[in-house]
Amino acid sequence: MVSPKMEEALNKQINEEFYSAYLYLSMAGYFAEKNLMGFFNWLFVQYHEELSHAEKIYKYLIERGGKVNLMAIKQPDYNWKDPKEAFASVLNHEKYITSRINELMDLAETEKDRATMSLLQWYINEQVEEEANAQAILAKLEMIGDQPAGLLMIDRELAQRK
């Protein structure tokens, strides 16, 4: 069994992951409107990844005899000044998620809940990749400035993500 405190914290994290999915789905729509379908593709794949992050915690909670308590998902932004601002917000959001996961790990350590620590280690590793991916795209967007040719090149690259 997970403790009531851990149960509550894991339920909150399920909500954070669903919000992440919602945010990236919203952002995918923003890029589709601009006909940047490579960016759309990257974010749509990311949306599915976030759903899988939520599902992994959801299933774990059930396995440990915890009670699922789904909460309302807040409305994400739907407009950004430009692609650079959009990806700066992806990076900021992933940093925020990393901080949430670290807090969960602190709680699991305090409670000596080794099974939850093992689950969270997967998320800690995943967050390294999540931040690095967002940072790499943001760095390219910063490099090209306002050049449409550069933007189309990145768009073609992001279309490859499966």
Tell me if 20 contacts ligand FEO by CB under 6 A. Answer: yes
- Of 6, 9, 20, 8, nearest to 96 (Cα)? 20
Cβ atoms of 162 and 48 within 8 Å: the answer is: no
The enclosing H or E element of 41 equals: helix 37-63
Q: Considering only residues 84 through 103, tell me which ones interact with ligand FEO, judged by CB under 6 A.
A: 94, 97
Distance CA(43)–CA(39), nearest Å, equals 6
Cβ atoms of 117 and 109 within 8 Å: the answer is: yes
Binding residue for ligand FEO, selected from 7, 28, 50, 108, defined by CB under 6 A: 50
Rg over alpha carbons for the chain, rounded to the nearest Å, is 17
Smallest distance from ligand FEO to CB 23, Å: 9
Smallest distance from ligand FEO to CB 140, Å: 19
Tell me if 53 contacts ligand FEO by CB under 6 A. Answer: yes
Nearer to ligand FEO, 3 or 80 (CB): 80
Binding flags for ligand FEO, 116-155, as an x/- string (CB under 6 A): --------------x-------------------------
Nearer to ligand FEO, 3 or 98 (CB): 98
Smallest distance from ligand FEO to CB 139, Å: 18
Tell me if 13 contacts ligand FEO by CB under 6 A. Answer: no
Give the DSSP per-residue string, 12-36: HHHHHHHHHHHHHHHHHHHHHHTT-
Cβ atoms of 15 and 73 within 8 Å: the answer is: yes
List of residues contacting ligand FEO (CB under 6 A): 17, 20, 50, 53, 94, 97, 130
